[in-house]
């Protein structure tokens, strides 16, 4: 499949020098707009030869750090300060972003389960296909900025997957170190196929996913981490000049290297009720000890369901809203990164 099968149109010329601010125009025929399009903002800033990076926000709606960081960067970045090419898409799943919802309200799809996409599929699949065919092949590295959204609250971390290819693993780890969040995670995911992550990794490129904050909020602290990390990412690839701003240089503890190697690091509930976490994010938990419990509000005579830590480590993720349903994730525990390097 190639990009010229895509119905997505843009007047962006990816080879043009300078700064272009425009849209990906995705056809969306609807009752009140027969020839209507969804206009997904895109900014390309290019000067001379150098690497290409793509910065993505709003892959899920309801996750605001990436969207705001990239809206600000797209306004401020000038071609004369760039060595190479920066492609900025602040709200990849625009319909979800404007609704504040994880999934697209138009086709009900999770954008980050829609890759590599389909040229004539649903709206999310069409967007995914265009990105996969027209943008990812241009890139040396991709940074996808998430947060926990409405349902999860996450300690601010930058993450990568375990990769089979040694050179790709090394290059990705170097970018991970450069980002400088409070935590860095190397992880395995158990969420199924269709992630942007796998699409980029499958092309042999560097991919990082930032997970910064959540619970449907945007805070000054989490936004600052996203902005600093994005600048560091660009500096690491030589796209902009300047020294990497480390956590230590800001008087903070050094970035903690953690790992999430298997499903045991994720904790689910098996009943409906109100989740009471015994820890706040960043606290240490011990395998076999309770991390929280679910109060079954409809059944006052029943004892709460206790959730026991399956791993020792740091609580990296907890539930956003208090009410939970069976199958919801309520705790992510990250272990110390065994192979610290």
Q: Which residues in 59-78 contact Ca ion (CB under 5 A)? A: 60
Which residue stretch of 47-55, 81-89, 142-150, 266-274 sits at the interface with Ca ion (rule: CB under 5 A)? 142-150
Residue (of 70, 200, 197, 80) closest to 140 by Cα position: 200
- Smallest separation (angstroms) from Ca ion to the CB of 208: 14
Binding to Ca ion by CB under 5 A, coded x per residue (else -) over 99-138, reads ----------------------------------------
Could you tell me which residues come within 8 angstroms of residue 222 by beta carbon, excluding any fewer than 6 positions away?
A: 65, 147, 156, 212, 213
Question: Taking the complex as a whole, how short is the minimal distance between the CB of residue 149 and Ca ion, in angstroms?
Answer: 5
Q: In sequence order, what E strands does the chain have?
A: 18-27, 37-47, 52-57, 84-89, 141-146, 152-161, 183-187, 206-214, 256-260, 266-268, 273-277, 284-285, 290-295, 305-308, 313-319, 323-324, 329-336
**Rounded distance, CA 289 to CA 280, Å?**
15
Nearest position to Ca ion, beta carbon: 146
User: Which stretch, 87-95, 144-152, 221-229, 275-283, contacts Ca ion (CB under 5 A)?
Assistant: 144-152
Q: Are 243 and 93 in contact (CB under 8 A)?
A: no
Question: By CB under 5 A, how many residues form the interface with Ca ion?
Answer: 2
For Ca ion, the closer CB: 97 or 234 = 97
Residue number, 216 or 273, with CB nearest to Ca ion = 216
Q: How far is the CB of 154 from Ca ion (least distance, A)?
A: 9
- Cβ of residue 32: shortest distance to Ca ion, in angstroms? 30
Query: By CB under 5 A, is residue 146 in contact with Ca ion?
Result: yes
Cβ-based nearer residue to Ca ion, 117 or 317: 317
- Name the strand (E) or helix (H) holding 172: helix 166-179
Exposure string for 126-144, b = 16+ CB within 10 A, e = fewer: bbbbbbbbbbbeebbbbbb
Q: Scanning residues 321 to 340, which ones bind Ca ion (CB under 5 A)? A: none
Binding site for Ca ion (CB under 5 A): 60, 146
């Amino acid at each position: 499949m190639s990009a010229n099968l895509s119905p997505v149109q843009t007047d962006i010329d990816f080879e043009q020098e300078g700064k272009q601010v425009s849209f990906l125009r995705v056809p969306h025929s609807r009752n009140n707009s027969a020839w209507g399009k969804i206009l997904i903002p895109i900014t390309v800033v290019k000067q001379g030869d150098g690497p290409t990076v793509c910065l993505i926000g709003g892959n899920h709606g309801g996750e605001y750090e990436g969207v705001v960081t990239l809206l600000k960067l797209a306004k401020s970045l000038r071609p004369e300060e760039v060595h190479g090419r920066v492609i900025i898409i602040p709200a990849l799943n625009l319909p979800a972003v404007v609704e504040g919802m994880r999934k697209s309200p138009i086709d009900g799809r999770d954008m980050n389960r829609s890759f590599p996409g389909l040229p004539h599929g649903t709206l999310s699949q069409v967007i995914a296909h265009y990105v996969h065919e027209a943008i990812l092949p241009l890139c040396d590295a991709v940074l996808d900025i998430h947060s926990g959204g409405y349902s999860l609250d996450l300690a601010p971390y930058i993450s990568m997957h375990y990769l089979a290819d040694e050179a790709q693993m090394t290059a990705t780890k170097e970018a991970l170190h450069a980002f400088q969040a409070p935590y860095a995670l190397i992880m395995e995911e158990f969420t199924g196929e269709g992630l942007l992550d796998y699409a980029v990794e499958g092309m042999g490129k560097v991919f990082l996913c930032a997970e910064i904050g959540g619970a449907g909020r945007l805070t000054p602290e989490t936004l600052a981490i996203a902005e600093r990390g994005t600048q560091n990412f660009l500096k690491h690839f030589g796209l902009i000049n300047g020294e990497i701003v480390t956590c230590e240089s800001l008087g903070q503890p050094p970035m903690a290297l953690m790992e999430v190697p298997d499903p045991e690091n994720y904790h689910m509930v098996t009943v409906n009720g109100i989740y009471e976490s015994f820890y706040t994010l960043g606290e240490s938990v011990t395998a076999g000890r309770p991390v929280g419990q679910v109060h079954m509000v409809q059944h006052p005579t029943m004892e709460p369901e206790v959730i026991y830590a399956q791993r020792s480590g740091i609580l990296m993720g907890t539930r956003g809203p208090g009410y939970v349903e069976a199958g919801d994730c309520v705790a992510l525990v990250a272990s110390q990164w065994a192979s610290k390097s």
